[in-house]
Structure 1
Amino acid sequence: MIPVAPVPAALRRYVVSRIPYDVDFGAPGVHRGLPSTTLTFVLPVDEPIRVSWAGRDETLHAGWTSLSGLHTAPAAIHHTGTQRGVQLALTVAGARVLLGRPAADLAGALTDLDEADALPALLRALPERLHAAPTWAARVALVDRTLATLAARAGDPAPRAEVARALGLLTSAVRVADVAGDVGYSRRRLTSLVQAECGLAPKAFQRVARFEAARQLLGVRPLAEVATACGYSDQAHLTREWRALAGCTPTTWLREEFPFVQDRDPGRGGGSGHEHLNP
């Protein structure tokens, strides 16, 4: 893992993680990109990143950036044996502040800065500037400065407070009906507002949040304990959800990802440097 300073405090509302990666897989292959409650923004170095939806080769896309919204299906990152770059996980609020648009605009999309409409010019210039940076420290500092400038210019156009609270409660596994009551909306109204903000209905968002919590514990605790801790009815339920959302069982994912998850610190929010390339 490349040593790097934490995400600056001023950006932590918008950026869950900012991970420089330099990985040698030993041979060409495909890496799984898993669903998440954050948007994924990847800035490759040396060669374009090639991404598709898993099992759908017709969706293969190559570019000097990769930008994906929230989704409920696995992506496939095609590599030549090595991958280098910087990956960011952006919050739903971060989409508005840093990208200038709601996360819902990018839900289910695999795109890049050239194809996505009306993104800030400063962001569009970032890939070329990143390639000119001489060191990893310089690259990370450039990314931080760019995002800080965008945040300062945005005037903090955050999602409405009740929607932001609802997303936080859904991430904490509170029942959708209870979330609606907490924020003072009918369930139907809550569903409309959450979907308009992030692109997923409350139940789908909660499903992804539970899956994301389970991913943090895999390889750290036995599967049966992971299932119980994350709110699955049993281990079989956990496995079914992993097949649906990741395209594989938890055991298969651990085998494929090892050793990239073996020294992960489960106490860190947003994963570690070994959970890279996760559109």
Structure 2
Amino acid sequence: MTTTYPAHTLTDELIETTVAAPESLRPWITELGHIPTVADVSVPFTHVPHVATTIVLRAEAAGHREAMVVGPHTKATYSRAEKPAGCVRLRLELGATRQLLGVPATDLANRVFRLADFPGVAADLADELTRLTPEEVLPFLADVLPRRISEDPTQRAHRTLLRAAVAAMSTATPTPVHELAADLAVSERQLRNLFTTGVGVSPKHYARIGRVRRILAHAGNTPWAQLATTTGYYDQSHMTADFRSLMGVPPTSFLRGNLPAPTPCQPLDHP
């Protein structure tokens, strides 16, 4: 599925190559993405809303390396890099942040941290990860990580439940929360807590992000009214308002390249 972006705008989906994580890592990591060094720092970088928490291994062209954690992004941001750099990005499985990082995903949304500052097992690997090549990262983690993580039956049950809930909320017409809670035999409050703790956003916002990403995947090739219907909106005006809320501009402006002014990269927080 090809995502549509205006000319002269960079984003991970245009320049990133991805490799699926091996089965031994899938309970905690879904894939590795590699973005080669971006030398032209004058080009704005679009960060589309997403729900994954990501461990980012950033390498500047000048040699400086650091390991960071980027939480779910509930709205788009537009930034301009300060130095030429590339990175390796490890996308965490939804529900795995507490096991890997020692904190719930809700504490990470729209924030950036140093990996070494976390209390979880992944923080102990920060220095070693920054010294590896992109090709060495997954084999290293597959050898080390399963031996360092323990999981009790309750955690496994919550992960299974979250996976089922996420699947139901990832369709073009997501299941209403009250119906999904009944289908999964949990209360609405439990379901919302499951999402905020394991994903970092509410079920409703998870569905909104998915819809906007589907708009981006088909914009320019499908009439707006038809796209609104196929992505689950009541009408085109509802779709436009939701897109503007998450992306900062309406769909037509985004496709024309009329984007919000870029800002410096987000500063680091402390968990």
Query: What is the TM-score of this pair, normalised by structure 1?
Result: 0.69
Deviations for 1:30-77, whole angstroms, at most 9, x for unmatched residues? Answer: 3121221211332222259xxxxxxxxxxxxx9823322223222344
Q: Tell me whether 1:142 sits opposite 2:144 in the alignment.
A: no
1:244: which partner in 2? 245
Q: Distance in 2 between matches of 1:20 and 1:79?
A: 17
**TM-fit CA distance, 1:176:** 0.9
Q: Distance in 2 between matches of 1:72 and 1:196?
A: 15
- CA root-mean-square deviation: 3.3
**TM-fit CA distance, 1:23:** 5.6
Q: Distance in 2 between matches of 1:12 and 1:215?
A: 27
Query: What is the TM-score of this pair, normalised by structure 2?
Result: 0.71
2:167: which partner in 1? 168
- SS at 2:87 equivalent: strand
Q: Distance in 2 between matches of 1:204 and 1:115?
A: 28
Does the C-alpha gap of structure 1 residues 14 and 117 become closer, same or farther in structure 2, counting only changes over 3 Å? closer
Q: Distance in 2 between matches of 1:140 and 1:107?
A: 26
* Count of residue pairs the alignment pairs up: 236
- Is the deviation greater in 184-193 or in 218-227? 218-227
Q: Distance in 2 between matches of 1:238 and 1:229?
A: 11
Q: Distance in 2 between matches of 1:15 and 1:219?
A: 33
Percent identity reads 27
Does the C-alpha gap of structure 1 residues 240 and 188 become closer, same or farther in structure 2, counting only changes over 3 Å? same
**Which runs of structure 2 are paired with 1:1-279 in the superposition (5 Å)?**
5-22=19-36, 24=38, 26-46=40-60, 64-80=66-82, 82-130=84-132, 139-148=133-142, 149-156=144-151, 157-158=155-156, 160=158, 161-172=160-171, 173-256=174-257
> What amino acid is the match of 1:140?
P
> What amino acid is the match of 2:135?
A
- Is the deviation greater in 152-161 or in 65-74? 152-161
2:268: which partner in 1? none
1:272: which partner in 2? none
Does the C-alpha gap of structure 1 residues 128 and 141 become closer, same or farther in structure 2, counting only changes over 3 Å? same
Q: Distance in 1 between matches of 2:128 and 2:221?
A: 37
**TM-fit CA distance, 1:19:** 1.9
Q: Distance in 1 between matches of 2:156 and 2:241?
A: 35
> What amino acid is the match of 2:88?
V
| Preserved contact between residue 228 and residue 236 of structure 2 (Cα < 8 Å) | yes
- SS at 2:74 equivalent: coil
